Structure 1
């Protein structure tokens, strides 16, 4: 049986580079392309009185539509290269869903991009790639943006 690789994608140049790497380097592998929609928090900085449920639902719908488009684009790329693939769309905390998918799909490798947050952004938001790397039960390859590439 061939290798099974999970490629979480978020539309960033780093996740696209990760997918390109897998398609170029593992043409005989089975590839699962995963996108996780992180739901918008229903509570902003205000209280419940200011919560706009209709806007919240509209934002959730927009995110799912964009995720579906993204997976279709990446699926076309894999198809053009003749790589066996499937796509998955999940909703939840990205690191948790990626790790769960890796276990559920019985993958041999995770290849993903990292936006390379540092400083306060990393402390406040954490790093999905870092969490996945620390908790995964399979090897993880990370594509990271170099400092000279940041804008």
Structure 2
């Protein structure tokens, strides 16, 4: 039987990431595991320096949006579920994989956007990247999946 102590849930405010969090909460209760909620300010979308800016900069609002997303999900956590939050600036796929190793994560539960094969091939997919590179199991969840 799989032993799960730490679950990582990347959150982006989408219905898929909310569904993933619901699944993670059920799994955390079952395994008596803790959840790390992760928001990544995607620096691949920032300027060439990739530095966080002040209130007038778009990336500042990404950070503020991330805080709201994480807070909203934390408020939905059932009683008794331990949830920690992490916000990082970086490239979502590689940073999720890096955090899996850094925090000794046993399971990643993340949303799947449901892109078709052509879109996934042309654009790539964070969930596909993580699925193929993470050192632990990865559960992808669609928005309408019941936990």
Per the normalisation by structure 2, the TM-score is 0.82
Instruction: Give 1:14's match in structure 2, choosing from 13, 16, 19.
Output: 16
Deviation at 1:118, TM superposition (A): 2.1
Per the normalisation by structure 1, the TM-score is 0.80
Deviation at 1:145, TM superposition (A): 4.8
Matches of 1:2 and 1:94 in 2, distance apart?
23
Deviation at 1:101, TM superposition (A): 0.8
Could you list the runs of 4 or more consecutive aligned residues of structure 1 that deviate by over 3 angstroms after TM superposition? none
- 1:1-150 aligned at under 5 Å gives the runs 3-27=5-29, 28-39=32-43, 40-42=45-47, 58-78=57-77, 80-145=78-143
Matches of 1:16 and 1:81 in 2, distance apart?
17
* Structure 1: gaps (5+ residues): 44-53, 147-151
Deviation at 1:74, TM superposition (A): 1.2
Matches of 2:69 and 2:93 in 1, distance apart?
19
* Structure 2: gaps (5+ residues): none
Matches of 1:12 and 1:117 in 2, distance apart?
14
Matches of 2:4 and 2:109 in 1, distance apart?
16
Deviation at 1:119, TM superposition (A): 4.6
SS of 1:137's equivalent in the other structure is coil
Matches of 1:91 and 1:113 in 2, distance apart?
19
Deviation at 1:75, TM superposition (A): 1.5
Deviation by residue 1:32-81 (Cα, 9 ceiling, x = unmatched): 011111122437xxxxxxxxxx89x6111110100011111111222x43
